[in-house]
Structure 1
Amino acid sequence: MITTNQNKQIKQILKLKKNARERKKEKMFIVEGIRMFREIPEDQFVKAYVTEDFFREHNELFQQKDTEIVSDSVMKEISDTMTPQGVLALVKMKEYSLDEFLGKHPLLLVLENIQDPGNLGTILRTGEGAGITGLIMSKDTVDIYNPKVIRSTMGSIFRVPFCYVEEMADAVDFLKKNDITTYAAHLDGATYTKENFKGASAFFIGNEGNGLTRQLTEKADKMIKIPMMGKVESLNAAMASGLLVYEARRQREEGGE
């Protein structure tokens, strides 16, 4: 049993938990909790760390898996939650190419400088529910492997293709080359329910406080907005994303796609 946070493995976990650069360098991230643990694809699993009580109760989960028992105090140290469930795993990152985003009827979300981990995780999870075929993010968007993002995805991190791009202009060029209509979420746009999303579509969603940059907005084929009543100016980025992708799904189901 590992009983000290001075252990070499524990030190590595702490680095991975706190540092996006370390995660990128090691090409690994952390998954925590039984539900997320069950979701880990076999080819991405690296190693499990569990408390003695958890191991005893869920022994069947760890058959033929590289597993370390850790003390309750060590688990509390490496956990990113207030009340650890007793299981944490190291997982290999998976890399996607933009070509994998196309699918049969492409439906993409393109995020520019989203900063809230909960927003990003919810966007990915909601996107999976609506059937998006990929998620494209600007390089200044919060790290998708941040433990808070991982938790918010509830497993969607393992099922939805995603990538970061150095230059958003390159992402737009890719979309245009593949005949994907691009829509910028903007206050000056047309009401989103008036548009037709049955064809290949990509929605641009901007930073929580500032929205989309002018440069990216101008590159979009069309501007759309979610109409507001009262004194509300805009919706949370995750909520806005959800409304747009579910409207696309509704239209596609009505149209027989």
Structure 2
Amino acid sequence: MISSTANSRVKHVVQLREKGRERKKKGVFLAEGIRMFQETPVSRIRELYMEETLAERPQTEDFSEKIEACRQAGIFVETVSSEVMKKMADTMSPQGVLVVAEMFAYQPEELIREAVKRREQEGRDPLFLLLEDVQDPGNLGTMIRTAEGAGADGIFMTEGCVDVYNPKTIRSTMGSLYRMPFVCGASLLEVTALLKREKITTYAAHLKGEKFFHEIDYHGGSAFLIGNEGNGLREETADLADTYLKIPMEGKLESLNAAMAAGLLMYQSRYGGADSAWH
């Protein structure tokens, strides 16, 4: 058991929690809590830490089997004191489980190719999110979670977006991070060119939009450009869109929260259309 906060492994975990550069350098990130542990594929777990009080309590069969699977896979599994867990964890009240997991590596061409294949084989229209400089970890995590719910095929994020492996982002995804493919540091110029080649329409919410989002026929495939929470899309980025659309606003609001707007657009694209019941 690790009982000292001066332990080298503990110090390394703290570095991974606090420094995005360290996470990127090592190719790993932290996932915290019982649910996130259960969601993390064994094949991606590199280290597993359990608080001693949790390790001593009776656990569900699924939890115990997952722990045993980690041991059988040769993963480093260790119990730690409550003090050490508090030092390593990002939350004020940690649930007693923390994993060091391997990062993902997706390619834009791969995600678009798979979506086009599903369109051809299953008649399922491609759906993507293109994010520019989204800064709030909670917003990004919510978009990833909502994208899974809406059946999106992937998310492309610019270099200016908040780190997807930020602990707050990880928690906000509620496990969707493991199922929703994404590309960090994407060039939206290159991505929109790839989408155009496959006849997937790119949309941007814009004041110049001639139609409201619920009046558009999204058949064939959609990709939605979502900008920074405070500044929206850069003009040159908005110009990459094939079509401008509008989201109706009442009261004195100028725009919706970025994650809310992304959710509306994705769900309308997947489940609505020009003949939908939205009004």
Provide TM-score, normalisation by structure 2: 0.88
Structure-2 residue corresponding to 1:171 = 191
Following superposition, the deviation at residue 251 of structure 1 comes to 2.6
Aligned partner of 1:125 among 145, 168, 176: 145
Following superposition, the deviation at residue 120 of structure 1 comes to 0.0
Instruction: State the AA in 1 paired with 2:150.
Output: A
Alignment of 1:77-226 (within 5 A): 77-102=87-112, 103=115, 104=118, 105-189=125-209, 190-226=211-247
Structure-2 residue corresponding to 1:248 = 269
Structure 1, 134-143 or 58-67: larger mean CA deviation: 58-67
Following superposition, the deviation at residue 199 of structure 1 comes to 1.4
In 2, the alpha carbon distance for the partners of 1:181 and 1:72 equals: 52
Instruction: Judge conservation of contact 2:201–2:222 (CA < 8 Å) in 1.
Output: yes
Following superposition, the deviation at residue 166 of structure 1 comes to 4.7
Secondary structure at the counterpart of residue 3 of structure 2: coil
Following superposition, the deviation at residue 64 of structure 1 comes to 4.0
Following superposition, the deviation at residue 142 of structure 1 comes to 0.4
Instruction: Judge conservation of contact 1:184–1:205 (CA < 8 Å) in 2.
Output: yes
Instruction: Judge conservation of contact 2:111–2:154 (CA < 8 Å) in 1.
Output: yes
Aligned partner of 1:63 among 60, 68, 82: 68
4+ residue runs over 6 A deviation: none
The RMSD of aligned alpha carbons is: 1.5
Instruction: Judge conservation of contact 2:203–2:225 (CA < 8 Å) in 1.
Output: yes
Provide TM-score, normalisation by structure 1: 0.95
Alignment of 1:232-243 (within 5 A): 232-243=253-264
Structure 2 runs not aligned, ≥5 long: 71-75, 119-124
Structure 1 runs not aligned, ≥5 long: none
In 2, the alpha carbon distance for the partners of 1:14 and 1:187 equals: 44
Following superposition, the deviation at residue 124 of structure 1 comes to 0.4
Structure 1, 166-175 or 153-162: larger mean CA deviation: 166-175
The number of residues matched between the two structures is 254
Instruction: Judge conservation of contact 1:188–1:223 (CA < 8 Å) in 2.
Output: yes
Instruction: Establish whether residue 228 from structure 1 lines up as the match of residue 249 from structure 2.
Output: yes
